[in-house]
C-alpha cells in the first residue's frame, strides 16, 4: 500500500510542506478513532473539484468498524459524499450529516477542514459512527407514540374501577353501564356538567340526556377501541373519549374521559384568523409585485433600444420569481415551500419571455423533492431565475433549439442544484467574461451571502453546467 507521502505527491496538488501537515495529523488518527469510537479518515482534494482522495484511515479498537476493508487510495465523489466536498470547497465544518456507508449501514458523519499555514484547505478530517440502532430506536419511538394514548387510557379504565385515584384527575371521568346510564362521575366531571347546564348528581342519568342527545349510543357501547367526539354546547367546548372495558360484574361497562377544550378552541380560532391574515398579506404582496411587473412591461414596450429592453426583461423576471413564492405562501399559508413546483414555474416563465420566436428551448427538472423555508426559497428562486435566464440568453445563440436540465439533490444537510445546458459552452475568456456579467455577480452574491454556499461553473464538453451547493442550516456568523 502506498504511503501518505506517496499518495499526496503522486495524486494530489499538495506541496511537500502541506503533505507533512497531513502526515503529522495522521499519527493521531488511531487515538481519535478509539476515543470517539468512530472510523476516522483524512481526504485530500484532487485537481478535479468534484473528487477527493482518501489518504489515511483508522478503525476503532473500542467499537466495531463500519468497513470490512481499507479504503485508502479510493476516491470520494460529490454525489456520494456531499458533506466532504462542501467542507473541502467552502472551508466550513459539517456536523451531524447522516448518510449510508458502502456496507449500507446508517452513519452519522462529522467533517472538519484541515488548513495549511496559509489558511488554504488541504484536506478534511472525517469521523463516521454507526447510528443504525439510533435510527431503529427512532422508528420504535414513533410506533410507541402512536399506541401510547390507547394503552394508557385502557390501563386507566381498569384502575379506576378498583381505586379512588379518579378524584385526583384533571379530566372528568364518567363510568357507565350496559344501558349507557352513569354509575359514577368524579368531581371534575360534575363541574363540567354543571357548566353545560346540569345540576344535581349525574348518577342514574343517561349519557344521551346529559349531552342533549348529541352522542351515538351504539358507538359508545362498541366492544373495542376508543370513540372520540368533540361537542360545542353554548360557550363550552368538550372533548369526549370513550373506551369499553367490559367489567359488567362490577356494574360498569365503559369509561368516558371529558376534557374542557374551550381555551384550546379559542386559540385555534385565533390561529386561523392570523393564518388568514398572513395569507392575505402574501396575496397582496404578490398582486403588488405583479403590478410593478406590468408597469415595467409597459415601459419596456416603449423603448427601442435592445439593451434597455433586456434590462427591463431581466428585472421583470426577477420580480416574477419573487411573486411566485408569495403566491404559494398565500395559497398554502405555510412558512415552507415545495421548491420543485417553484422551479418549474420560474423556468417556464423565463424561457417563454427570453427565447426568440423561432427558438425551441426545453426545460427538464429532475432529482429529489426539496422543501425549503420561505426566505431560503426566495433566494434560491432568484438564483434559479438568473441561471435559467443565462442559459436561455447565451447558451443557444444562433441555434434553433436547446435543452436545459435542472437537477436537485438533498443529502443530509447539504443541497446541490445543477443547471446544465447543451449550448455553446463557456467563452474562451472564462473567468474574465464571467466577472463582467451582472446576472452572475448577483447569483454569486446571493449564494455566498444568503445561502452560505458555493457556486461553480464549468464546460462539460456538451455545454455548460453551473452547480450551487449550500447547507440547509447555514453556520451562525462568528462573533466579532
What's the pLDDT at 470? 94
pLDDT mean over 211-220: 71
* Per-residue confidence (pLDDT) for residue 225, from 0 to 100: 60
Element (H, E) at 247: strand 236-247
- Give the least confident one: 116-130, 284-298, 392-406, 446-460: 284-298
* Grid cell locating 193: 356538567
3-state secondary structure the chain: CCCHHHHHHHHCCCCHHHHHHHHHHHCCHHHHHHHHCCEEEEEEECCCCCEEEEEEEECCCCCCCCCCCCCCCCEEECCCCHHHHHHHHHCCCEEEEEEECCCCCEEEEEEEEEECCCCCEEEEEEEEEECHHHHHHHHHHHHHHHHHHHHHHHHHHHHHCCCCHHHHCCCEEEEECCCCEEEEECHHHHHHHHHCCCCCCCCCCEHHHHCCCCCCHHHHCCCCCEEEEEEEECCEEEEEEEEEEEEHHHCEEEEEEEEECHHHHHHHHHHHHHHHHHHHHHHHHHHHHHHHHHHHHHHHHHCCCHHHHHHHHHHHHHHHHHHHHHHHHHHHCCCEEEHHHHHHHHHHHHHHHHCCCCCEEEEEEEECCCEEEHHHHHHHHHHHHHHHHHHHHHHCCCCCEEEEEEEEEEECCEEEEEEEECCCCCCCCCHHHHHCCHHHHHHHHHHHHHCCCEEEEEECCCCEEEEEEEECCCCCCCCC
pLDDT in tens, 254-306: 778 888 888 888 887 777 677 666 666 766 777 777 788 788 878 888 787 87
Vertex 352: Cα angle to 348 and 356 (nearest 5): 140
Cα end-to-end distance, the chain, whole Å:
46
Contact 18, 10 (CB under 8 A): no
Tens-digit pLDDT profile for residues 217-256: 666 666 556 778 888 887 888 888 887 765 444 444 677 8
Q: Is the pLDDT of residue 480 over 70?
A: no
Helix (H, G, I), strand (E, B) or coil at 224: coil
pLDDT of residue 318: 80
Round the average pLDDT of the chain to a whole number and report it.
81
Residue position matching grid coordinates 422508528:
139
pLDDT at residue number 223: 59
User: For the residues 46-75, what does the mean pLDDT come to?
Assistant: 90
Lowest mean pLDDT among 71-85, 168-182, 348-362, 449-463: 168-182
Is the predicted pLDDT of residue 165 greater than 50, yes or no?
no
438 or 403: whose pLDDT is higher?
A: 403
Question: Which residue is listed with cell 426539496?
Answer: 370
Question: Cβ(101)–Cβ(128) under 8 Å?
Answer: yes
Question: What is the pLDDT at residue 93?
Answer: 94
Most confident of 6-20, 76-90, 366-380, 390-404: 6-20
Higher pLDDT, 66 or 218: 66
Q: How many whole angstroms separate alpha carbon 17 and alpha carbon 281?
A: 59
pLDDT for position 250? 47
Digit-coded pLDDT (tens) for 109-164: 899 999 999 999 999 999 998 888 887 887 777 666 655 544 554 555 555 544 44
Cell numbers for 279, please give them: 395569507
Q: What is the average per-residue pLDDT within 195-210?
A: 81
At residue 275, the pLDDT reads 66
pLDDT score, position 256: 83
Instruction: State what percent of residues in the chain have pLDDT above 70.
Output: 82
Residue 57 scores a pLDDT above 80: yes
The answer to whether the predicted template modeling score (pTM) of the entire model surpasses 0.75 is no
pLDDT beyond 50 at 433:
no
Higher pLDDT, 324 or 12: 12
- Identify the band that residue 166 occupies on the pLDDT scale cut at 50, 70 and 90: very low
Q: Specify the pLDDT at position 131.
A: 81
**Full strand arrangement of the beta sheet holding 360-367:** 360-367, 401-411, 414-421, 464-471, 454-459
Percentage of the chain modeled with pLDDT above 90: 26
With CA atoms as reference, report the closest residue to 343 among 377, 293, 394, 391. Answer: 377
Pairing outcome for strands 75-77 and 360-367: unpaired
**253 membership: H or E segment, kind and range:** strand 252-260
**Cβ of 475: how many Cβ atoms within 10 Å?**
12
The whole-number average pLDDT for the span 321-335 is 72
Amino acid at each position: 500500500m502506498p504511503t501518505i507521502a506517496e499518495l499526496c505527491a503522486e495524486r494530489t496538488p499538495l506541496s511537500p510542506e502541506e503533505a507533512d501537515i497531513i502526515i503529522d495529523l495522521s499519527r493521531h488518527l488511531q487515538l481519535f478513532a478509539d476515543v470517539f469510537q468512530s472510523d476516522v479518515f483524512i481526504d485530500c482534494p484532487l485537481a478535479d473539484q468534484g473528487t477527493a482522495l482518501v489518504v489515511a484511515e483508522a478503525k476503532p479498537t473500542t467499537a466495531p468498524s463500519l468497513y470490512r476493508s481499507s479504503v485508502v487510495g479510493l476516491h470520494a465523489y460529490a454525489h456520494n459524499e456531499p458533506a466532504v466536498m462542501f467542507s473541502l470547497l467552502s472551508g466550513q465544518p459539517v456536523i451531524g450529516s447522516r448518510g449510508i456507508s458502502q456496507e449500507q449501514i446508517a452513519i452519522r458523519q462529522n467533517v472538519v477542514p484541515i488548513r495549511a499555514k496559509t489558511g488554504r484547505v488541504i484536506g478534511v478530517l472525517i469521523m463516521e459512527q454507526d447510528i443504525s440502532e439510533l435510527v431503529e430506536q427512532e422508528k420504535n419511538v414513533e410506533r410507541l407514540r402512536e399506541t401510547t394514548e390507547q394503552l394508557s387510557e385502557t390501563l386507566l379504565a381498569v384502575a379506576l374501577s378498583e381505586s379512588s385515584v379518579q378524584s385526583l384527575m384533571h379530566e372528568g371521568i364518567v363510568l357507565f353501564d350496559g344501558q349507557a346510564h352513569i354509575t359514577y362521575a368524579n368531581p371534575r366531571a360534575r363541574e363540567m356538567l354543571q357548566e353545560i347546564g346540569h345540576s344535581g348528581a349525574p348518577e342514574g342519568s343517561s349519557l344521551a340526556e346529559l349531552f342533549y342527545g348529541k352522542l351515538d349510543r351504539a358507538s359508545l357501547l362498541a366492544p373495542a377501541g376508543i370513540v372520540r367526539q368533540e361537542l360545542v354546547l353554548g360557550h363550552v367546548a368538550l372533548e369526549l373519549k370513550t373506551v369499553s372495558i367490559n367489567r359488567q360484574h362490577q356494574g360498569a361497562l365503559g369509561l368516558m374521559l371529558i376534557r374542557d377544550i374551550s381555551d384550546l378552541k379559542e386559540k385555534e380560532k385565533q390561529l386561523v384568523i392570523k393564518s388568514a391574515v398572513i395569507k392575505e398579506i402574501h396575496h397582496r404582496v404578490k398582486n403588488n409585485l405583479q403590478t410593478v411587473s406590468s408597469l415595467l412591461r409597459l415601459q419596456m414596450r416603449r423603448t427601442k433600444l435592445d439593451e434597455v429592453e433586456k434590462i427591463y426583461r431581466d428585472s421583470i423576471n426577477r420580480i416574477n420569481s419573487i411573486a411566485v413564492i408569495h403566491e404559494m405562501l398565500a395559497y398554502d399559508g405555510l412558512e415552507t415551500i415545495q421548491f420543485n413546483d417553484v422551479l418549474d414555474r420560474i423556468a417556464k416563465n423565463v424561457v417563454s419571455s427570453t427565447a426568440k420566436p423561432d427558438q425551441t428551448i426545453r426545460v427538464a427538472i429532475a432529482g429529489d423533492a426539496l422543501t425549503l423555508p420561505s426566505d431560503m426559497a426566495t433566494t434560491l428562486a432568484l438564483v434559479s431565475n438568473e441561471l435559467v435566464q443565462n442559459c436561455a440568453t447565451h447558451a443557444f445563440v444562433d441555434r434553433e433549439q436547446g435543452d436545459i436540465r435542472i437537477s436537485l439533490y438533498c443529502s443530509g444537510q447539504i443541497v446541490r442544484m445543477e443547471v446544465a445546458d447543451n449550448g455553446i459552452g463557456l467563452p474562451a475568456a472564462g473567468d474574465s467574461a464571467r466577472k463582467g456579467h451582472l446576472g452572475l455577480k448577483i447569483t454569486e452574491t446571493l449564494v455566498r451571502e444568503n445561502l452560505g454556499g458555493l457556486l461553480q461553473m464549468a464546460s462539460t464538453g456538451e455545454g455548460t453546467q453551473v452547480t450551487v451547493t449550500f447547507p440547509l442550516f447555514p453556520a451562525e456568523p462568528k462573533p466579532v
